[in-house]
Amino acid sequence: MNTDGTTVLRSIHEFNENQWNNLVTHTEQGTLFHRHEWLAAVEDGLDYEPRHVVVSKDSNPIAIFPNFVSELTVPNDVTNSVISALDISVMESGGIGHGGPIISTNERENIDRLFEALDSASDGRLLYHLISTYDLGHIRYGQYLRARGYEPNSNVATFLIDLSDGWEKILAEMDKSRRKDVRRAHEQEYQIDISTLGTNIHQTYGMYEKNTERVDGNLIPFSFFETLRDYFGERIRVFTAYVDGNVKGKYIYLLDTENSTLHHWLSAIPDRDCYDFYPSELIHSRAIKWGIEQEFETYSFGGAGSHFDNSVFRFKTQYGAQPVPVLRWERGRNQLMWPLFKFGRQKVVEKGL
């Protein structure tokens, strides 16, 4: 579908891949999460409904805004049953990964066209719309979004290392205890293999599944791994740590060439006993060096809650990574349920603290 004007796509497959990716590649806000292949993998591998907005001119996209609608889930089986009966859904730009609008020209006019089309495609089932992006360039839309009823949320941070500093400087700026563990890790008989997701995909997923269950996380289904392999395989690397010939852990990385960033995306360390062999230190060290070799500018440790006493927050900063806020804006779409949801969510946060 390449007609001029503004269109809401119910499938990314309706739009030409090369034209879509050309816009993503040649704009500052573009990331791998905006690419046609990533959106196709989410659509085909997860139970998400696309609501991608496209503004076209002469059959070429000049502005895009990827979004997905999915069921609302919360960490409580009883509450989930009630929510399921109410048929409540949420819309996210960046539910898996990150999103936000991309506009190549006539920014003032086209941002209105994107959001007005999105509003027209929304229905009464929607609890809220969330925009999540790690590209700080999207801060330019902060006041505009507030005027449209969006509220900022800064509860999540991502952690970045500047790879231009080189490995020796990066190592020197790590916390003393982390440098000590890196040294101990490399005193073992170890090996790090680098492969694509298609290599031993079932073993990788099984280890990721155990890791996620161990930390009580949200499990991504195997179907998404399969569609990523099929659509996005060249943009993914799996780093596997062997100690004394035995697998001790895997990390899955995303290659964001649009932002020159190597993302540590998912962990697959199945058992706590594996940490006795320092798989995290082994893989992060090799991945940082590999990122330097491949001329990436930035190494991302991924996200964590932005609280000083969060164990993941502290762990990532020990590597010398700088916390950077993930830009998130929310707009409630259901006047009855949205205030109740926010109240309940705040109580969960307070209890967690």
Per-residue pLDDT tens digits for 123-142: 878 999 999 998 888 999 99
Contact 286, 193 (CB under 8 A): no
Same domain, 186 and 285: yes
Same domain, 88 and 194: no
Same domain, 174 and 311: yes
* Number of domains into which the chain is organized: 2
Backbone angles phi and psi of 2, in degrees to 5: -125, 50
Same domain, 12 and 130: yes
Same domain, 209 and 336: no
Q: Which amino acid, one-letter code, is at 238?
A: V
Report in angstroms the alpha-carbon separations of 289 from 72, 170, 192, 253, 338. Answer: 40, 10, 12, 14, 45
Same domain, 293 and 222: yes
- pTM of the full structure: 0.91
CATH code assigned at 107: 3.40.630.30
Same domain, 181 and 124: no
Contact 247, 240 (CB under 8 A): yes
Q: CA triplet 35, 40, 46: central angle to 5 degrees?
A: 125
Which residue in the block uniquely carries the two structure tokens 């999915």?
70
Same domain, 311 and 171: yes
Position with higher pLDDT, 122 vs 304:
122
**Per-residue pLDDT at 148 exceeds 80:** yes
| C-alpha to C-alpha distance for 26 and 78, rounded to whole angstroms | 47
Range of the domain at 338: 5-154+327-352
| C-alpha to C-alpha distance for 76 and 339, rounded to whole angstroms | 19
Same domain, 86 and 193: no
- DSSP states along 230-244: HHHGGGEEEEEEEET
- Picking from 274, 213, 217, 216, the residue whose alpha carbon sits closest to that of residue 240 is 274
Same domain, 79 and 179: no
Same domain, 127 and 218: no
Same domain, 38 and 149: yes
pLDDT in tens, 96-118: 889 999 999 999 999 999 999 99
The confidence band for 79, taking pLDDT boundaries of 50, 70 and 90, is: very low
pLDDT in tens, 277-317: 999 999 999 999 999 999 999 999 987 665 545 677 788 88
